[in-house]
Structures are given as structure tokens and as C-alpha cells.
Amino acid sequence: MPLASQGLPLGSSGLEATVIIPVRNAERTLWRCLEAIFASEAIGKFEVIVVDDGSTDSSVTIASHFPCELILCEQSRGPAAARNRGAKEARTALLFFVDADVFVKPDTLTLLLTALDTSVAEFASYDPNPFNQNFATVLYHTLACSSQDDTAETTPVFYPIAPPSGETCL
């Protein structure tokens, strides 16, 4: 049960952040995604919430093998609704959204947490070069980079992992 609904202030759980993973038919990548998150250097500071958005494959079974909170949506409403549902159930105020086809590096969560704790940034991006280069991932990454470029003057953005020399957003 989220702390806010228990009448407790956010942050009183001892956790520092929540990793929210929206899932729909992600059996090909979910195990590796969760394995990478739980291999993180700072996993004890995070809760992990997997929100299944009506999968018809083995995604729920895969998630049940990990020590995460699993939320099952009765009907598919899309990844944005799944993210919002996870945010509603989170026990922390700091939320990290990780797609089921993203495999974080061991220091990614620590870098993001440090970046948001030590800078005026309100948004952090975990990797300028996504592992998966399928159309949806490349499109999302391109839109995120465009959004970051558009808002850089008014919203500080921090990139904890610098792109290789000479590379920028797509």
C-alpha cells in the first residue's frame, strides 16, 4: 500500500526512489531488464514496480520470479496509463521509469539518483544510446532528445552517461 494512502509522508519508507516498469507482452526482454535492475549497485535504495498492461504472454510469470511489486491491470490502457498506475502505488516521491526493453548498467540507478540529488536537474536520461534499436525505441529516444533540446533553457537536464565522443542525440 502506498505511504500516502497510509497517512505517512513520502520518503518515510527508507527507500530513495521507485523504478516503474510498464509491461505489455515483453517476455523477450523483461527477464534481462529485471535482472539488470536487481544487479544494480544501489538496488537496496529502490523499490521496483512492474505494471502489467494486459499481457497475453509470459510477462507476468517472468516478473513473479523477482522481488518486485506486480500490478495487474484489468484491461490494456497503454504504457502511459501503466506508468501512472505505478506512480500512484509508489512509496517514494522520486520515480524512475524504465521500459521493459531497457537493460540498465550496474551504476545507472546510482548515477541518476546522485544527479538528481546534487544538481538542479528535474529530468535525467539514463542512456544516450539505447541498446535496442527497433523503430519504437529509436522514435521514443529521438522524441525525448528533441524534448530535452526544446526545454533545455527552462528545465535543467542532466545526462549522467555521456555519449561517446562525437555522438549526440539521434
Rounded to 5 degrees, φ, ψ at 2 are -60, 150
CATH superfamily label, 4-118: Spore Coat Polysaccharide Biosynthesis Protein SpsA; Chain A (3.90.550.10)
Compute the Cα dihedral for 38, 97, 52, 71 and give only its sign: positive
What is the rounded distance in angstroms from the CA atom of residue 154 to the CA atom of residue 45? 30
SS3 content of the chain, % helix, strand, coil (to 5): 35, 15, 50
16 touches 92 (CB < 8 A): yes
How many residues are recorded in the chain? Answer: 170
Query: For 88-115, what is each residue's pLDDT tens digit?
Result: 999 998 889 999 998 888 988 888 888 7
**What's the CA gap between 38 and 73, in Å, rounded?**
23
Supply the pLDDT for residue 108: 86
pLDDT value of position 100: 94
- Lowest-pLDDT range of 22-31, 61-70, 101-110, 132-141: 132-141
Return the higher-pLDDT residue of 21 and 121.
21
Percentage of the chain beyond pLDDT 90 is 41
Q: What is the pLDDT of residues 111-130, one digit of tens each?
A: 888 877 776 655 555 555 55
> What residue has cell string 523477482?
66
